[in-house]
Amino acid sequence: MKINLFTTFASVRPPFRKHDSRSVRWTNLARRRPQVLLRIGAVTALAFLSSCSARADALSLCTPNSAVPELWIMNAKVAPALQLGDPGGFQRAVNTSDLFAFDQPDKTSPIGITVANFESYAEFSQAIVAGTIPPGVHWVMYDNERWQGTPVNEQEHPARYEALFARLAHRHGYKVILAPAQNLVFGLSKPGVRPAGAIWQQYLAFGLATVSAQSADIYEIQAQADEAARYRAADVYADFVRAATAQAQAANPKITILAGLSTRRVSDAKQLDQDFQSTRSMVAGYWLNVPGWNQADPMTIAEQFLNGPPSTPGCRRASS
């Protein structure tokens, strides 16, 4: 399930060495990297692009209803639960070779590509020194937010610590997902310097998409807060994803971009699908958040979303 492209593109794919941990999964990922299409305006540059490809070596454009899967990020407990609860729906929407399953840094996922998740650079640097990340884990994620897991100094200086995180990770052969939350703007805002506008507009004014795109292999837009009912009529979710994608691609045309979806922010699977459909031409995939995944209602919404037919033609993975 992916995209209608506005232009053809080419991508340079790094050589893949079977036993080189730094290039694990790179061949598959590089084929899905969004490329840049810039429209220069009086005030800003807008970039609308996504990438997709078949499994063949040659790149191909994504066409409506073609059987090309999205990239997904899911919690390593959520993904197996969804697979067990509705095997057909899960298989229809998710190819496990395109699934990033994150867990605590010392654990591995039973399915998908394990991602060691960190809420702070300090925690990550300690894990590197201690050697606690399991062998065979090749991806790490920095989920920096305005919460207890991210120290205050990291909240107030996301550019510095995202760069440090990515530099340390790459030095040790890991690929990097950066997923800064919108609420970081409250730590950045000082008297007299807080930008005007909604939180997502402040996020962009502070250049947080630029910061992440400059250092990450994958940048994830935590847009799920804008799925809430009070934002739906104004299409805030799609507006934020579009603008963040443009900013990120302007900073790094090769960046792979995902967007956040959440069962907590919607009332039903139909709304989740609406947000998916409105942005699928902009991003390479999604982080599907299922808070309270061990309860019936959130899992039902997630299962219905993965199992339901797309409301418009696109590149959702076809039924087998």
Angle at 65 between CA 33 and CA 217, to 5 degrees: 10
Give per-residue pLDDT as tens, 16-26.
232 233 333 33
Return the minimum-mean-pLDDT range out of 40-54, 125-139, 171-185, 263-277: 40-54
Give per-residue pLDDT as tens, 287-296.
999 998 767 6
Measured in whole angstroms, the distance separating CA 258 from the mean position of its chain's CA atoms is: 3
Position 319 pLDDT exceeds 90: no
Q: Which pLDDT score, from 0 to 100, does residue 273 have?
A: 94
Give per-residue pLDDT as tens, 33-90.
343 333 333 333 333 333 333 222 222 233 333 344 689 999 999 999 999 999 988 9
Query: Which pTM was predicted?
Result: 0.77
Maximal C-alpha separation, the chain: 57
pLDDT band of 315, cuts 50, 70, 90? very low
Nearest to 2 by CA among 60, 55, 57, 71: 71
6-20, 192-206, 253-267, 306-320: which has the highest mean pLDDT? 253-267
Between helix 208-215 and helix 158-171 the angle, nearest 10°, is: 10
**Superfamily of segment(s) 70-307:** Aldolase class I (3.20.20.70)
> What is the β-pairing status of strands 71-75 and 45-47?
unpaired
- 288 in helix, strand or coil? strand
